[in-house]
Amino acid sequence: MASLPLSIDILPDDAEVIGLGEAADRLGVSTGRVRTLIRDHNLLAASRGGEPVIPVLFFGPDGLAKHFEGLVTILLDGGYTRDEALAWLFAEQEDLGICPAQALHTHAAREVIRRAQAQAF
């Protein structure tokens, strides 16, 4: 567990999260595969109470939210650290009234991706 790149104290207290086992079930993969996704930065995770957790907002009905992986890639390739990317995903966009992680589940998803591209570098 210590080898997982986890963000600490980044997520809002009210962010709903799940453990690695439930994440594996939602993705239809093993917990080892979930750990690999986290290590490879294809999935962002945090530490809560010393345990790795993943925000529920990162998931859609059929696995990861549709644009999640692309958005994370844009942020990380654009110079954001893993912690900065996770914080940005949960920072409310005042004009949208929601955070980017929530926007992934709405028609504003493409707007959030555009904003991430514009902020990169």
Mean pLDDT of the chain: 91
pLDDT (0 to 100) of residue 81: 93
Average pLDDT over residues 99-118: 93
Q: Distance between CA atoms of 1 and 63, rounded to whole angstroms?
A: 23
Confidence of residue 120 (pLDDT cuts 50, 70, 90): low
Confidence of residue 119 (pLDDT cuts 50, 70, 90): confident
Domain boundaries, the chain: 7-119
| 52 vs 8 pLDDT, higher one | 52
- pTM equals 0.90
DSSP for the chain, please give it.
-TTS--EES-S-TT--EE-HHHHHHHHTS-HHHHHHHHHTTSS--EEETTEEEEEGGGEETTEE-TTHHHHHHHHHHTT--HHHHHHHHTS-BTTTTB-HHHHTTSTTHHHHHHHHHHH--
